[in-house]
Amino acid sequence: MGVDLSDAQCAKLLAYGDLILKWNKVYNLTALRDPAQVLTHHLLDSLSIIAPLHHQCPAATRLLDVGSGAGLPGAVIAIMRPELSVSCVDAVAKKAAFIRQVSAELGLPNLNGMHTRVESLGGSYDVISSRAFASLVDFFNGSAPLLAPGGVWMAMKGKLPSDELTQLPAGVAVFHVEQLQVPGLDAERCVVWARKSEG
């Protein structure tokens, strides 16, 4: 996937996977219970965005992960890009609490969990990401006020959302759709990159 992993990052990713499995027993953060599936469907799936993110946004400093759930891909991005301030927002309190626990246990001062709806947030972000969160229209409309000038949206999807791409809201321009390759995952994955259009 074109990602250089340090030993420390590798250890943090595996510790994060363990935390997901541990909390899942009590809080039902994700549907997956099998460690091998957590590795492929969550960790590797989220890692697949790291190289494209670096390519598209090398100078980004603030990222908002919308509907982050257990922190996918936000927590993985925070581990891999320590210079990036990553805020994970979720409407479910226990999921935001989990993100805060991950930040504390893994020593990730750049990772923040927020329990709120994206529509009620303030602030300005260079990158706004989501992973299988909602339709593209809902994602763009809900987060548009938070996108910094020159910022980009990064929407991780399964197969190419052709229908959704024909229904983009006014003021949103998709500039790249990228296929993602996830080792061990026999499923289509892509990322839709968009920005605010001129005028």
Question: Is the pTM here over 0.85, yes or no?
Answer: yes
How many whole angstroms separate alpha carbon 81 and alpha carbon 137?
A: 28
Residue 15 pLDDT: 94
3-state secondary structure of 170: coil
- What does the DSSP 8-state code read for residue 31? S
3-state secondary structure of 106: coil
Q: How confident is the model at residue 199 (pLDDT cuts 50, 70, 90)?
A: low
Burial class of residue 179 in the structure, from the number of CB atoms within 10 Å of its CB (0-12 exposed, 13-18 middle, 19+ buried): exposed
Q: How confident is the model at residue 97 (pLDDT cuts 50, 70, 90)?
A: very high
What pLDDT digit, counting tens, does each position of 111-123 carry?
999 999 999 999 9
The correct answer on CATH 3.30.450.20 for the domain covering 7-196 is no
What pLDDT digit, counting tens, does each position of 127-186 carry?
999 997 789 999 999 999 999 999 999 999 999 999 999 999 999 999 999 999 888 778
Quick check: bond before 73 cis, omega within 30?
yes
What pLDDT digit, counting tens, does each position of 42-81 carry?
788 899 999 999 999 999 999 999 999 899 999 999 999 9
Angle at 8 between CA 130 and CA 151, to 5 degrees: 30
Residue 107 pLDDT: 97
pLDDT over threshold 70, residue 32: no
Residue 186 pLDDT: 81
Residue 109 pLDDT: 98
Q: Which two tokens stand for residue 38?
A: 């957590």
Q: What residues have CB less than 8 Å from 5, skipping those under 6 apart?
A: 13
